[in-house]
Amino acid sequence: MRGNLFAVAVDLVVLTVRDGVLCVLLRERAAPPFAGERALPGGFVRGREDLLDAAGRELLEIGLAIDGHHLEQLASYAAPDRDPRGRVLTVGHLALVPDLPEPPGECIWVPVAEAGTLAFDHTQVLADGVERARAKLEYTTLATAFCPAEFTISQLRRVYEAVWGTCPDPRNFSRKVTSTPGFLVPTGTKVSSGRGRPGQLYRRGPATALHPPMLRDQPSDPPR
């Protein structure tokens, strides 16, 4: 078998919305390389694991339950000098989780806008993950992955505002999501958010696609 051998890692772009701000889960590296710098959580693929299994295990080790969370493969990165220890290919994964009371494991939540430069090529992996999340909010129902099991339309709208930085008119947004079949399932109960009229509670519906899509004001120009 020609070709050289690689260690294969999975790295996780775990995104959430905290207080209206899109945040990513980062870990400060204890050991070299890049000791002391911030990096995406991740680790090597073990034994007979498949990629998504390895990513799920890393989520578990961080302290996040697997099921109920969105987890998908992003892209692979294998520049020859990306890891000084040798040839390491990493498969970036995107995980979306609802707001959690405490940062899990040894990790910290950092606003995406303040993430700065990360270890390895994780700056690029993070950028790709955020762009993927932004794009998918347009044409899928993925925004619910940022919400707890039951949520109001306001909470869902705040997800769009945090991820996109903007969002359509609240009243039209409400109509759009409730009129898409299978997007939201009303629970029948209402909840008060402190002030104002209480909102209807919803769960995720079975729909995944959004037709027609939700429109951003100035969508970014993705590379072909």
Partner DNA sequence: TCAAAAGTGTTTCAATTACACCCATGT
Partner DNA sequence: ACATGGGTGTAATTGAAACACTTTTGA
**Per-residue contact flags (x/-) with DNA for residues 144 to 183, judged by CB under 7 A:** --------xxx-------------xxxxx-xxx-x-----
Question: Which residues contact residue 15 at a Cβ distance below 8 angstroms, ignoring those fewer than 6 apart?
Answer: 22, 23, 24, 25, 94, 95, 96, 97, 112, 129, 130, 133, 146
Of 61-80, binders to its own copies (CB under 8 A) are: 70, 72-73, 75-80
The reply on whether position 9 binds its own copies by CB under 8 A is yes
Interior angle at CA 175, CA 172 and CA 181, nearest 5? 140
The reply on whether position 47 binds its own copies by CB under 8 A is yes
**Which listed option, its own copies, DNA, none, makes contact with residue 170 (CB within 5 to 8 Å by class)?**
DNA
**Per-residue contact flags (x/-) with its own copies for residues 125 to 144, judged by CB under 8 A:** -----------x---xxx--
Burial 211-220 (b: 16+ CB within 10 A, else e): eeebebeeee
**Tokens found for residue 106:** 């040894």
**Which listed option, its own copies, DNA, none, makes contact with residue 224 (CB within 5 to 8 Å by class)?**
its own copies
For DNA, the closer CB: 3 or 194: 194
